[in-house]
Amino acid sequence: MSYELNQTAGTMAPVCLFLFVALLVGRLPLAGTEEERVTPSSPSSSTTTDGFLSSNYSQLTLKVDFSSKVVEHEYIVAFNGYFTAKARSHFISSALRNTEGENWRIVQRENPASDYPSDFEVVQIRQDARSSLLTLQDHPYIKRVTPQRKVFRTLKLLSAGSDGSSSCNDTRWVQKWQSWQSSRPLRRTSLSLSSGFWHATGRHSSRRLLRAIPRHVAQILQADVLWQMGHTGSGVKVAVFDTGLSEKHPHFKNVKERTNWTNEKTLDDGLGHGTFVAGVIASMRECQGFAPDSELHIFRVFTNNQVSYTSWFLDAFNYAILKKIDVLNLSIGGPDFMDHPFVDKVWELTANRVIMVSAIGNDGPLYGTLNNPADQMDVIGVGGIDFEDNIARFSSRGMTTWELPGGYGRVKPDIVTYGSGVRGSGMKEGCRSLSGTSVASPVVAGAVTLLASTVLNRELVNPASMKQALIASARRLPGVNMFEQGHGKLDLLRAYQILNSYRPQASLSPSYIDLTECPYMWPYCSQPIYYGGMPTIVNVTILNGMGVTGRIVDKPIWQPYLPQNGDHIDVAVSYSPVLWPWAGYLAVSISVAKKAASWEGIAQGHVMLTVASPAENDSAVGGEMTSTVKLPVKVKIVPTPPRSKRVLWDQYHNLRYPPGYFPRDNLRMKNDPLDWNGDHIHTNFRDMYQHLRSMGYFVEVLGSPITCFDASQYGTLLMVDSEEEYFPEEITKLRRDIDNGLSLIIFSDWYNTSVMRKVKFYDENTRQWWMPDTGGANIPALNDLISVWGMAFSDGLYEGDFTMADHDMYYASGCSIARFPEDGVVIAQTLKDQGLEVLKQDTAVVDNVPVLGLYQTPSEGGGRIALYGDSNCIDDSHRQKDCFWLLDALLQYTSYGVTPPSLLHSQNKVTPPTGTDKPLPERLEGNHLYRYSKVLEAHLGDPKPRPLPACPHLSWAKPQPLNETAPSNLWKHQKLLSVDMDKVVLPNVRAYRPQVRPLSPGESGAWDIPGGIMPGRYNQEVGQTIPMFAFLGAMVVLSFFVVQLTKSRSKPKRRKPRIKRPLYLQQQQQQTPHTGKNPTV
């Protein structure tokens, strides 16, 4: 029995040792593992998003609606410089000296910036606003007067996958029509709260192969490698402009300052998003941030009621400049790139070396939806991807649209990173998961903060050099174009290598032009170039890491490679006269030389330019730093296609918001009333463009008046959703062109002056209710254009479902054809009178509404004309059902004269309307289209056309041929000068995160939880070796005692020898009676 017990004890000893070791190891973080725990924050008295997400959060999505309006009688008066409060008051008083004192006052702003000079003031004016504003603007020290703006947010919870909207095609759907307050933010709003994608991701959304990867984004991007090198963000000041942060949040140890810029008397976060953003950047435990030792500066610019003012941001920006902030995360944005006070202040911030990181918006997957200020050249614009490296559906796409009137947009976003299901700090404690580009933005802001702390010479770190390092090191995602991913996915370690061997220089974004590389170079790669085509324009950003200001020396040089047929192309360049702040543009126009009209092949060359900047540390007067960069160019040339295959898209006559109020084409989309996507074939008409290319058509863009193209080269001119007026010379030329064989297709939209008055809008610049300057399209202008053929559109407004040629169609706020030649073909449908619904909230069904017309002009060799009353079926913005089949049929008719039998013999064919019983639509009286038009100008009476502008003529660069071979592969990582990726060696580390250490005095708690604080203040080697030796020592001692215990129990007991007693004692014992125990020896 004793042997069996000893054997059991002997076998239990290693088991106990194993269990003890497993227990200790279980308390330590393992590389590649992660405890998926979400701890919702404590409920608060205020309405918080944490509270929303604490119950069954994985199945809910937080959707936010916005409204925006100006503050009555309040204006922002911007000055030409920074002045004290006394000086600002004196300037305003002198400007309004003829205004009674009780009719105006300066609004006091009690915030941390009040004690410093400022460049603006908020003034309340109660007298006649217009005269007072004009008086203020005339003062020499006052730069601009704009209204004070206020933004509201409304939070709604939706089931996962719901967008909260009813189908526009549902006949039971009823809408109350009313004047539109800005339900889509006219100005800047919080992207973090403006998206339906701010939600905690569900765990069981679909069946898929699970990947055992940690969800702490800092470790996924290998920030722990830099932590173990001793870099944790120390010495870098990072500002978070959001909803605030509670004072004793356990995740943060270095909150340097919390400031409140709102009218609420609190610094705490009542919504939870500001805490989340700050946690992604600088949390020290649980859901770890990138830079825990960075100096956090919290700017509370939104109230718990989700309200903010422009003046709050301007004051906070000024204070950030005063505090010499290094990195600023901005999770706000809007479509208005002409909001001058805000944009000017963003430029001023970056000019003061503040690295601004901003989200590009949550309006994807539609193209042309970039938000401002992320679309600016000096700001790092961030898009979102998921953990499978797929572009997030919500992430906005490029191109930038504010340059479209001048040619073409730029590549944005700059970079993408994880923005879907990212974990961050809860409002009070714990972690939660959110999605959106506002999540991706602090990921990059945290990475930038960490990277800045690794550079010994901080003078090298500026907005340009940091962007250069990020885009040069980014990992390109396969199968994704540049308007979705920018330069690729954030690569933290490669950016560290580049930044730590960086030398001030200039670089280009993109760094090369390859019109043969698909899909990355879409849309450039989607269509080859040919002789006689419109020049291809590539808008390149020049980044100047040498200084905040710079210039291009002499002129850029075009050098074609003769062995690679570079002399077959012509190149023209235009560029920024001054590079400020930190950046400029280089517009490259590419065309085919006449000698290559019938040639097919690849042509290559490069553009070379030199950038100069003042040398900041050069003692010599006028010293400059220079940097020379090359822009490789590679194009595919094909013979000029036949006229019938060439389609010309009229971009010149499309207008957009801003600057004016141009409404959406579909009036059902009341939550998105602004037409702000550019109406370009590469933005909201992208799918149509792709379809036409797949059908073999070559699509070119007309960015100048109709008088500026050779109509003999094109089969069809395509006009879609035109809002602009037409020069008389354009009308005359188009009539002549169509008589000579050019065909015309027009997709129109609604125009009704009564409806336009009904959907009036509060103009935040003039502080007046005003009507749209046009409807969905400018019908009166289009009628002037086509009146010579006896055609006209009506002011009717219709919608409804129908079938045409066996295709299901949806008519979304379209107009009808009022007049058409009697020998034309007209198709009619039964539709609902949407105009009646808008004006009188009544419903009516109208039979035989003419929607489609086809006409062959009578002149010999004349072209053909096709009219359709609605463009929504080819517009990506709010398309319900596409009508690309109809566009194919119309192009068959206009290009080849083939009338589709399904339309020619349709049962819905009707007699063409004469339109004599109703007057044609008139222009809205008192409209302000002339303010934004390229055609009209102000006049004492009605606006009159301007003089016809001269057609643009490019100045082609004189080639300097090179008789050498061009590089075969243009896509290689954008190596900056003097950067050798092999010179900077990273340490060989294994652990995903540093070991746990005791907290410093003043930090909450005696010890951190597992997987907690990152190293910062202690020597890195000591921090790693002490826990290792302590663990090994404990194991040795424990093993010694276990072995001793095992030995003592496993050996059999030895019997001690019995000593024989003397004979006389034995005899005595036998004689004595036994009375007790024998004595032991």
Per mean pLDDT, which range of 139-153, 410-424, 1039-1053 is the poorest? 1039-1053
Q: Check if 712 is active-site.
A: no
Instruction: Say what the pTM is.
Output: 0.80
Active site residue 242: yes
The residue among 806 and 992 whose pLDDT is bigger is: 806
Distance CA 126, CA 73 (A): 6
Pick the more confident residue, 54 or 381: 381
- State how far the alpha carbon of 713 is from the alpha carbons of 316, 501, 533, 640, in Å: 56, 53, 8, 9
pLDDT tens digits for range 706-747? 999 999 999 999 999 898 999 999 999 999 999 999 999 999
Instruction: Take residue 220 and report the two structure tokens written for it.
Output: 């996924």
Q: List the strands of the sheet with 506-509, edge to edge.
A: 506-509, 536-544, 583-592, 569-575
**What pLDDT does residue 430 have?**
92
| No. of helices (H) and no. of strands (E), the chain | 22, 41
Please state the length of the chain. Answer: 1081
Question: Of 192, 283, 358, 438, which is the active-site residue?
Answer: 438
Q: What band does 469 get if pLDDT is binned at 50, 70 and 90? A: very high
Low-confidence winner among 20-24, 126-130, 822-826 (lowest mean pLDDT)? 20-24
| Whole-number pLDDT of residue 15 | 41
Confidence category of residue 136, pLDDT binned at 50, 70, 90: confident
Going through 638-747 in order, the beta strands assigned E by DSSP cover 646-650, 698-702, 716-720, 743-747
Within 13 A of 403's CA, how many CA atoms are on the CB side?
Answer: 22
Q: What pLDDT digit, counting tens, does each position of 917-960 carry?
A: 788 999 988 787 888 889 998 765 678 899 999 999 999 999 99
Check whether 449 has a pLDDT greater than 60: yes
CA 391 to chain centre: 12
Closest of 122, 147, 197, 269 to residue 767, by C-alpha: 147
Helix %, strand %, coil % of the chain (to 5): 25, 25, 50
Give tens-digit pLDDT for 557-578.
999 999 999 999 999 999 999 9
pLDDT surpassing 50 at residue 337: yes
65 classed as catalytic: no
Q: In Å, what is the CA distance from 644 to each residue of 598, 698, 745, 948?
A: 17, 9, 14, 29
Is residue 756 scored above 90 in pLDDT?
A: no
Catalytic residue (choose from 50, 242, 326, 1008): 242
CA distance 188 to 149: 10
Task: Quick: pLDDT tens for 832-863.
Answer: 999 998 888 898 999 999 999 999 999 999 99
Residue 655 has pLDDT above 90, yes or no: no
Peptide linkage before 659 cis (omega within 30 of 0):
yes
Residue 143's identity, in one-letter code, is K
CA–CA gap between residue 200 and residue 280 (Å, rounded): 15
Selected catalytic residue, list 216, 249, 251, 273: 273
The predicted model gives 46-50 an average pLDDT of: 35
Q: Write down the pLDDT at residue 535.
A: 96
pLDDT of residue 784: 96
**What pLDDT was estimated at residue 895?**
95
Q: How far apart are alpha carbons 937 and 627 in whole angstroms?
A: 44
Contact 613, 625 (CB under 8 A): yes
